[in-house]
Amino acid sequence: MAVRQIRIIGDEILNKKCKPVKEMTDRTKELIEDMFETMYEANGVGLAAPQVGILKRIVVIDVEDGYQYVLINPEIIEQDGEQTGYEGCLSVPGKTGVVTRPNHVVVRALDENMDEIEVEGEGLLARAICHECAHLDGQLYTELVEGELMDTENDEEEITEEIQKMADAYKMEADKIREAIGESGLEQMKKDMAVQKAVTVIADAAVEVEKAADAE
């Protein structure tokens, strides 16, 4: 297995329609394995083949429900309900936006053995299925965002402020703290702070929704 390069918004391949998979080959099996490896490395819950530069109708999903979903030539055959919430995308790093999706879907596809399967999903799984299947037709979630995209990444100034707080708390020089943390530690700090920022944004949005509901 290998980690592949994730294509970023602006890459024209993300706007192209993918071709159906007609047979399972060793190369396609390797692609699926690499897609999972790439997705996990990037802390994602789903990945579509065009995101790693391959125009095939393949998606992989893992929402930590005990299953690793491989959907080949997927087709959403049922959908109902509605959910509105924040989404992100590995091809749109550092951004999040509000998107409305079905709350329940049924998708028909082929698995890694080219056997026909149907997967039923609700909540996060339904959102992931819709998001990844849209990639296969050249659509990014940014086209569906309600309002504006918001930043989730932390800039260097925020990291410096956090390190200074740690230096003050431990009565040490900020440079010594940064050196002790190391590059890997700094990257983990950025990820942790980004998660916290995203959680805060989502919580604030939930409060506003609740206020609006109470006002009705």
Kindly list the catalytic residues: 132
CB atoms within 10 A of CB 21: 17
H-only helix segments in 43-123: none
Rounded CA gap, 127 and 82, in Å? 10
Rounded CA gap, 143 and 181, in Å? 39
Q: How far is CA 207 from CA 1, 88, 151, 202, 214, in A?
A: 43, 20, 20, 9, 11
Would strands 83-87 and 116-122 be described as parallel, antiparallel, or unpaired?
Answer: unpaired
Which residues in 45-164 belong to E strands, given as ranges?
Answer: 46-48, 58-61, 69-80, 83-87, 95-101, 104-110, 116-122, 146-151
H-only helix segments in 114-155: 124-135
